[in-house]
Structure formats: structure tokens, C-alpha cells
Amino acid sequence: MQIYLVDAFTETRFEGNAAGVVLDADHLSVTEMQRLARELNASETAFVKAGTNGSFDVRFYTPTTEINFCGHATVGLFHTLAKTGKLKLANGVGQFTEHTKGGSFPIRVDEENGRILVTMTQQEYKMTSLPFDAEQIVSALGLKMNDMDKDFPPMLARTANKHLMIGLKSGALKRIDFYQHQLGKLLHHCDVSTAHVFSKEGDNVFSARNFAPHIGIPEDPATGSAAGAFGAYLHRVGQSHNGVTEITISQGNEMGRPSRLTVKVHVDDGIFEKVEVSGTAVIAFHLQTTS
């Protein structure tokens, strides 16, 4: 069993979002995976079974619970698989499938001059309204209703995991001073993975912060599954166009772990087709190898 700690959505060690990656985890029990994720103490750890024919079975754990899917751990995982020679690439490109509790997802890996880009594709989405007044979530963030951006109505968005989308005016992200218990209770009530709080900073450029205190993650520096849901959300609120809309998300700056996520929203004749989330990664260190 090989264990890595990988920083995702960055090319600089100790930036981005750290993910545990455990290769060849076939023999681990649920209890052992949960204990190992708690010991690594990354926001999520990916456990992968030996792959066959380009398909990989993956499970994800936070330090406290198993979750259906994790975007940044997926980026970290496939970066590590490529770096350790466990992926077959033809002319620097490979197409793979990741099987998770949240569904099966196409994964593309591009390698050029040692730089690896991992792209996750999500093709289905669902949007629902909040089960409570938006003022409750804004209050839990320590903000006022006039901090909200009216162009981005709050909504529950799902592609892989379900996330709460909250749009704020530029500058409000830095003033968030959230009440952990209050926010966690609301997110648990919504049955969402995280609160994805964002602001528009320019044409197709967004800043974001992401919170999940109810699953043991007070704040997340880069959230790939939320970025996918956000891309679908932008289509729903009329912020994408026909063809491909590419957006950039900066996250993690307030935590001292800057991250960069690239999202491409594919729309054909007004109909959503898919969303792609891309990012790089770097292995921070190889923890150990055991038999």
C-alpha cells in the first residue's frame, strides 16, 4: 500500500487543497479506511483499487465520514497515478473512468513536459430552491442581506455532490465571519456537501470560499465537486452561452492556500450538455510504503 499527500489545483507544494491518496487499497476495510483518513487529516482521502482497462474504483473519506465524491482528491489521485506510471497515456493523453458512490465519471489526463492536467466531466445536473429563507444562511456567514448579489440567486446545485450556492457582491467574501454550529446545522438540513460562496470579479472570473463544518471541514481551499455544480448553476441562471463558456475560480486565498480551478460549461442550442473541471497537482510527499 502506497500513501501520498497531494496538493491539488496548484503546481506549488503546500498551496491548493491537500488530499490523501492511498493506492492499491483493495484489502482495506471500511474501518481501516476511516481510521487512515482521520490519521492523514486531509479534508478528503481517496482510496483506489487496482485499475483494470482504464477503470478505477474509488472511495472518499473525510476525517469523520465517507462521502460520495471528491473533486480535488480525484485530481490528486489521477495526478499520482500518472506520476507513478500506473496510467497508460498515448501521446501524452489518456481517457479513464472513475467509479464512485456518487456515480461514474470520465477522467482525461493530459501530460506535457512533465505537467499533468486532470479533467473531470460531469454530465447531469439538478437545481432546487432553498428549504429556508436566504437570510438564515447569510446570517450564519456573519453578513447582511445587502451583501448578496441579486444576479446570483441562492440555490441548491448538484452534478456529483449537492452544494449550496450563495452569490455575494465583490469584497464580501473577505468579511465572512461564520458561525460554525449555525452554518453546519443549516447545511445538514439542506443535505448538501458544502456551502459554495462566491463573487464575480470580472468576465468569467470568480472568487470563492467553501464551507462544510457539518462534515468536519470548517473551510476548504479548493472544491472540485462544487466547481462542477457551480458551472451547471451558471447555466441555470443565464451566465453561460452557447458553445463552451470557460471560467476561472480562485479559492483558498483567505486560508493562505491559493488554488485555481478551470471550469468549462458546454451548452448546445441552449441545452446543458456537460461541465468539465480541470486542475493540476503536485505530490507534497510520499508518506510510506507498507506490504
Question: Is 44 a catalytic site residue?
Answer: yes
Nearest partner of 274 among 241, 244, 247, 238, judged by Cα:
244
DSSP secondary structure string, 28-96?
--HHHHHHHHHHH--SEEEEEPPPBTTEEEEEEE-SS-EES--HHHHHHHHHHHHHTT-S--BTTEEEE
Instruction: Measure the CA angle with vertex 201, ends 181 and 187; round to 5°.
Output: 20
Tell me which of 11, 39, 44, 254 is the catalytic residue.
44
- 18 grid coordinates: 491537500
| C-alpha cell read off for 186 | 443549516
Distance CA 249, CA 198 (A): 9
Cα separation, 64 vs 93, in Å, equals 35
Positive or negative CA dihedral for 220, 225, 226, 227?
Answer: positive
Using only C-alpha atoms, the chain has a radius of gyration, in whole angstroms, of 18
Q: How many CA atoms lie within 13 A of 27 on its CB side?
A: 5
Q: DSSP H helical segments within 84-214, as ranges?
A: 134-140, 180-190
Q: Is 93 exposed, middle or buried (0-12, 13-18, 19+ CB in 10 A)?
A: exposed
Taking the C-alpha atoms of residue 229 and residue 38, their distance in angstroms, rounded to an integer, is: 27
Please give the Cα distance from 168 to 211 (Å, whole number).
Answer: 15
Q: Catalytic positions, please?
A: 44
